[in-house]
Amino acid sequence: MKTKILFIFLILWGCNMNAQEIKLPAPDRVGGQPLMKLLNERKSSRSFSEKELSEQQLSNLLWAANGFNREDKRTVPTALNCQELELYVILKKGIYFYNAKEHKLALVKEGDYRKSAGLQDYVADAPLNVLIVSDTKKAANAQYSYTNCGYISQTIYLYCASEGLATVARGSFNKEELNGLLQLSKSQEILLAQSVGFPK
């Protein structure tokens, strides 16, 4: 009987451990459509279906946006190589931190918080909302951080154009509410949000 209970406990513990993080598949580093075509098609869209991105698409998008393409440097530049920006994602199942070095998602808070990701109605429909967060202690200055942030946002736009996904960069969100939900420290600041999903 004791062994049975221990066995069930271990299974439940194992399931819980898995929920704590999502190990993303390796990003596809050679795919995608030609750059000039993507620039021609890049646009903001504000209408999303409920369809979720595949884990491969999530992996590719996050790696493209802020992943490591060399041992210690990323797909996007940062002034003075400060690398002060990190990504958080709000998915239907929870809020996660993108651990770029290990290319995995670490659970911050379980549950559907998409409504809190922004002030406009369409935000809650998007299966993915990306938050670009600066660690102001690591940053050279605010001006550089906003510049660095733009590279990430445009990369998300281009990846979405390549995949036929809809996206829009957003400055409209409730900073205080999101600071709490993301469990940010005093030195962390959300610079920009970006909604992503399949077009409706």
Of 71 and 121, nearer to ligand FMN (C-beta) is 121
Quote the least distance from Cβ 44 to ligand FMN, whole Å.
3
Contact 138, 84 (CB under 8 A): yes
Q: Which amino acid is at 120?
A: Q
At its nearest, how many Å lie between ligand FMN and the CB of residue 103?
A: 27
Q: At what angle do helices 142-163 and 55-66 cross, to 10 degrees?
A: 150
Nearer to ligand FMN, 126 or 192 (CB): 192
Residue whose CB is less far from ligand FMN, 1 or 36:
36
Looking at this protein, which amino acid is placed at residue 125? D
Alpha-carbon dihedral angle through residues 70, 155, 136, 109, given to the nearest 10 degrees:
-100
Nearer to ligand FMN, 57 or 195 (CB): 195
CB of 190 to ligand FMN, least distance (A): 12
Which residues are within 8 A (CB) of 188 and not within 5 positions of it... i.e. 6 or more apart?
133, 134, 135, 136, 179, 182
Chain residues in the site for ligand FMN (CB under 6 A): 43-44, 46, 120, 168-172, 192
From the CB of 169, what's the least distance to ligand FMN, in Å? 4
